A and B are shown apart, each in its own frame.
Chain A
Amino acid sequence: MKIKFQLNGQPVEAEAPIDETLLDFLRNRLRITSVKKGCDLGECGTCTVLLNGKPVRSCLLLAVQIDGEDVTTIEGLSKDDNLNPIQEAFVKEYGFQCGFCTPGMILTTKALLDKNPDPSIEDIKIAFEGNLCRCTGYDQIIESVLRAAKLIKR
C-alpha cells in the first residue's frame, strides 16, 4: 500500500506492505536503525517514535497506519554533530550506558518537555514508566531530563 507521511519534518512517500509493523518498515525499508527492536511486543520502549508528537510503540503499529501522520525519530532532533539540548543533557549527565534504550528515552524526553517544560520528578517517572533500562538505574536519566529542561528554558 502506498503511504504518504511526514518523517522528521520531511514528506515521505513509500510503498509499505500491509503486514509490516512501523518498526520493521522504518528499520528495514527506510534504514532508520535508531529505532530498536527490544521485544517487539510493546513492553520495553526501545521502539519508541513520536506520532504527532506523542510517544508510541512503533512495534504495535502497522506501517500503513501512519498514512497522513507525523512521525519523529531521534534523527529529527539534530543534524550531524550539532546536538539538541536534550542530547547535550544526556551526554553531560551520563544518561546512557549501553545506549540501546537511549533513542527511546530521548524522544520521550522531547515529548514530555514539549508538553510540560518544568516537570517534577514524579511527572518524569510517570512519563518514563514504560521505558525499560537495564544499565543506568534511572537516576542519571532523570537528571538528564531535568538538565534538558533547564537548557531549553535558556
Chain B
Amino acid sequence: MEEEIRPLPKFDYFSPHSLHDLSTLLKQLKGGISFLAGGTDLLVNMKKRITIPKVIIDINRIQELSFIEKRSNNIHVGSVTRLNNLIESSIVQENVPLLTEAIRFLASHPIRNRATIGGNLCTASPAADAAPPLLALNASVKLKSPDDEKIVPLSEFFVGPRQTVRKHNEVLTEIIIPCEKGSNAFMKLGRRRGFSLSVVSVAAFGIIKGDKFEDIRIALGGVAPTPIRAYKIEEMLKGVEVSDRSIEKAAEIAKSISKPSKRAKRASVEYREAMARVLTKRVLMKIAFEERG
C-alpha cells in the first residue's frame, strides 16, 4: 500500500569524501543507486517503499559540492548547499534575490537545515518551490558522471512529475545562475498559512523601461507535470506598456497554458488554473509597482 510507513529496507551504504571517490564508486556499482543529500525526500520515500535503493551513496561529506560563489557574472551553487545556507547567503541575496525570496518559506526551518538545492531539483516535484525562480533566472545545472560532465539548462532538465534527464550514474553537482539587475516577485498559494505543499507558485523576473516591459520572465509550479516557463506570456508582454489591461491579458494566458495533471491531488484542475491566473496577475503587479517605485 502506497503511503504506508514501514521500517527502512536494507541497503548498502557508502559515504565518499570527494568527487574522485564518488566517480570510482559509480564505476564499480551496477545500479539501484540513490544519492542521499538532505534525506528529506529519500528517507520518506524509502519508508513508504516508493524508492527501494540497493545502494545509498551519501554525498553530504563531499566538500566540493557545498559552496556559494560568484564567478564573473554568475552565481555558482554547489548542489549539496543547504537551503538555509542559501537563504542566509548575502551573495545570493544581493545577486539573485528571487531565489532567496522563493525558498525562504519552503517547507519549514528544520527541513531547510538539511534539504539541499540539488536535492529539491532532482526530486522534481511539479510543485517544488525552488524550480520556478531558477527557471525564471535562466539557471542551468551541471551533471557529472564518471566519464562525462555536461551543463543542462534547467528548462530542459524536468521531463515529467518526479522525472529529470539525470541518468542513474550522474550526479547534479552545481547550479549556475546568471546575475541580472531587475525586479523580482514570487508568490505561492498553499492550503494553509503554515508550511504546505504549494498548490500553485509563480516566480517572475522583470525589467521595465519607460513604462514598458523590456524583459519579463515568468515560471509557474503546480500547473503542469513539471515546473514551466511561461514563454507565451513573456512573448506577449515584451515591449508592451505596463497596464492593468496588459497584466490581465498575461494572467489569462497563464490560465490557458496551465495543464495540471488530473491525477494531481490536493487541488482540482479548475482551481489550479484559476489560481495560476490570480498569482500571475499579482506577481506582475508587484513587479510593476516595484519598478515604478
Contacts and interface: CB of A to CB of B under 8 A. Distances in A.
Interface of A: 1, 18-21, 40-42, 45, 48, 51, 54-57, 59-62, 64-65, 108, 126-131
Given A18-B13, A60-B40, 11 more contacts: A45-B108, A48-B110, A54-B113, A55-B110, A55-B113, A60-B39, A64-B15, A65-B39, A129-B105, A129-B195, A130-B195
B11 A129 contact: no
Given A19-B8, A129-B194, A64 B109 contact: no
Interface in B187-216: 194-195
Contacts of A55: 109-110, 113
Nearest to B5: A40
B33 interface: no
Interface of B: 5, 7-13, 15, 36, 38-40, 43-44, 47, 58, 60, 84, 105, 107-111, 113-114, 194-195
> Which 7 residue pairs spanning A and B have beta carbons closest together?
A130-B108, A55-B110, A18-B13, A129-B108, A19-B8, A54-B113, A60-B43
Contacts of A61: 39, 43, 114
A41 B5 contact: yes
A108 B44 CA distance: 22
Nearest to A128: B109
Nearest to A68: B61
Contact of B58 (A20, A65, A131): A65
B17 to A, nearest CB: 11
Contacts of A126: 105, 109
B13 A64 contact: yes
B11 A18 contact: yes
Contacts of A127: 109
A41 B108 CA distance: 13
B166 to A, nearest CB: 22
